[in-house]
Structure 1
Amino acid sequence: MILLSELHYHPPAAFFAELLQADGLLLEAQEHYRKQTYRNRCLIRTAQGVQALTVPVVDGNRSEKVKSSAIEIDYRQNWIHRHWRTLQTAYGSSPYFEYYADYLHDIYVKKPALLFDLNLQFLRLLLRCFRLNLPIELSTEYHTDYSTNSPLKQPSFTFPSLATAGQLCDRRDWLTPKASSQEPKPDSPAALSRVRPYPQVFGPAFEPGLSVLDLLFSQGPAASQFLQ
């Protein structure tokens, strides 16, 4: 199964539960950027509760007219310092923060110009942390629908094992930081338990829906055992 998804900034742990079932990952590179999504934000847990970390982008008000793969990061704001200090404060006492901290920090200080490049570097690092050797490709065309009722569009991807649309799992915008008053869809993260409860730094009640960093800093090499 090939998983189709947008590219996130430190995605929720549920995303990695999906990746554990996948044979390859197709990243949507042709879509128009969407604001207020996990494309440029993640959720972590601090002593004050759940907090969003947001990467500022250039011309944010006009960003939805630009491809996600072309969105530039706004380094006029000192967001790297804020994000890093918040992560240190929230997870400095967790069992595995120091183990992964240098690898994460090295990517931050490179200051990639594009949000897509920043997220892709973090994703490749996280895949290594989970020992997931998944082939990754970028879409070359945009299609709103990849349903099994439609013929497979070529050459949007070149995975040799993908012969029918039934082998593609479209998870674009499956994960969202927005609260919804509607009933969750049957296969949504809200309806399915993708992450088993694990000890979090700030408890005692388990807080679902957090960035995979929360799980990784808590459980380290055993993190994948909490994904289902």
Structure 2
Amino acid sequence: MSGEKKSAFIDVSYLPPLEYFSAILDCSDLLIDEHAIFQKQSAFNRTTILLSNKVELLSIPVFGSRKRQLYRDVKIDYSQKWMQVHLRGIQSAYGKAPFFEFFFPDLENEFLKKPAFLWDFNWGLLTLCLQLAQINISIKKNIVYSQEEDLEDLRFLTRDKAVFSTRNYYQPHSYSQLFGADFVPNLSIIDLLFCEGPSTKRILELSRKKTLNNQ
């Protein structure tokens, strides 16, 4: 794997999957697209965790977004009890995981801040997950993107609905999950954090596609 660092232009999404983190692992800094247009039923407000009998989709309700509304202007709907449902689901899924007691309080604190805007909520969660995974990447906002800049554009990771196997960033490297005989790939980063703790970064490195590792 090349030690050369790069910058990437990317969206901030809700507790992103492992493909997202595999793609940014060699980045020195991320420039978050603050001018993204919100997409309904997307990774902007959805993530997946592993329960005892299924993969569960967690979705954050938002107030009715207008056509071509800026993602940063989308407000979270706290009148629905989604936050309690998500926290209970995470506790049910990972309460017995080896590193749950170490990481869950910090995660819960991010939820309890209850920021008004989805973009701010996801920003805080991404910052926390990078810290817990011991991945040293600077993230910046309020950036105007220029095509002339030497950036890798990774925004398609959250906007395209293609499965990870059709792209060039993530190949599943199994680790110990709590449920099921078969490994479930590309869940939210919290699945890996709660199950593997300080080994998270190493497993992400092993999960990067060989085409990237050989560059």
TM-score greater than 0.5 by the shorter chain: yes
User: How far apart are residue 179 of structure 1 and its match?
Assistant: 6.2
Q: Out of 48, 66, 71, which is 2:69 matched to?
A: 66
Q: Out of 35, 44, 57, which is 1:52 matched to?
A: 57
User: How far apart are residue 203 of structure 1 and its match?
Assistant: 2.0
Whole-angstrom distance in 2 between the partners of 1:171 and 1:140 = 15
CA contact (8 A) 1:4 1:168 kept: yes
The equivalent residue for 2:176 is 199
User: In structure 1, what residue type is equivalent to 2:108?
Assistant: H
Whole-angstrom distance in 2 between the partners of 1:184 and 1:199 = 21
The equivalent residue for 1:89 is 92
Whole-angstrom distance in 2 between the partners of 1:24 and 1:206 = 31
User: In structure 2, what residue type is equivalent to 1:9?
Assistant: Y
Whole-angstrom distance in 2 between the partners of 1:177 and 1:24 = 22
Q: 1:176 to 1:42 in 2, by over 3 A?
A: farther
Q: Out of 112, 115, 120, which is 1:117 matched to?
A: 120
The equivalent residue for 2:3 is none
Q: Does 1:224 align with 2:201?
A: yes
The equivalent residue for 2:131 is 128
Whole-angstrom distance in 2 between the partners of 1:170 and 1:179 = 16
User: How far apart are residue 98 of structure 1 and its match?
Assistant: 1.1
Runs of 4+ in 1 over 2 A off after TM superposition: 139-143, 175-180, 183-187
CA contact (8 A) 2:31 2:141 kept: yes
Q: Could you list the per-position Cα deviations for residues 130-151 of structure 1 after superposition, in whole angstroms to 9, with x for gaps in the alignment?
A: 22232211254467xx4xxxxx
Q: Out of 171, 187, 197, which is 2:154 matched to?
A: 171
- Name the % identity: 32
- Could you state the TM-score of these two structures normalised by the residue count of structure 1? 0.81
Q: Does 1:19 align with 2:24?
A: yes
Q: Could you list the per-position Cα deviations for residues 52-75 of structure 1 after superposition, in whole angstroms to 9, with x for gaps in the alignment?
A: 101111114x3x421111110001
In our comparison, the structure showing a higher alpha carbon Rg is: 1
User: In structure 2, what residue type is equivalent to 1:111?
Assistant: K
CA contact (8 A) 1:45 1:210 kept: yes
CA contact (8 A) 1:38 1:176 kept: yes
**RMSD over equivalenced CA pairs, Å:** 2.0
The equivalent residue for 1:158 is none
Whole-angstrom distance in 2 between the partners of 1:135 and 1:109 = 24
Aligned length: 200
Q: Could you list the per-position Cα deviations for residues 170-214 of structure 1 after superposition, in whole angstroms to 9, with x for gaps in the alignment?
A: 11022468466xx96452x5xx41x41111111211111200000
Whole-angstrom distance in 1 between the partners of 2:92 and 2:165 = 33
Q: 1:93 to 1:73 in 2, by over 3 A?
A: same
- Could you state the TM-score of these two structures normalised by the residue count of structure 2? 0.86
Could you tell me which runs of 5 or more consecutive residues in structure 1 were left unpaired when the two chains were aligned. 147-151, 153-164
The equivalent residue for 2:12 is 7
Q: 1:98 to 1:56 in 2, by over 3 A?
A: same
SS at match of 1:24: strand
Q: Out of 45, 66, 76, which is 1:40 matched to?
A: 45
Q: Could you list the per-position Cα deviations for residues 85-112 of structure 1 after superposition, in whole angstroms to 9, with x for gaps in the alignment?
A: 0001111111111111110111111110
SS at match of 2:92: helix
CA contact (8 A) 1:2 1:24 kept: yes
User: In structure 1, what residue type is equivalent to 2:77?
Assistant: D
The equivalent residue for 1:162 is none
Whole-angstrom distance in 2 between the partners of 1:223 and 1:141 = 32
Whole-angstrom distance in 2 between the partners of 1:197 and 1:176 = 26
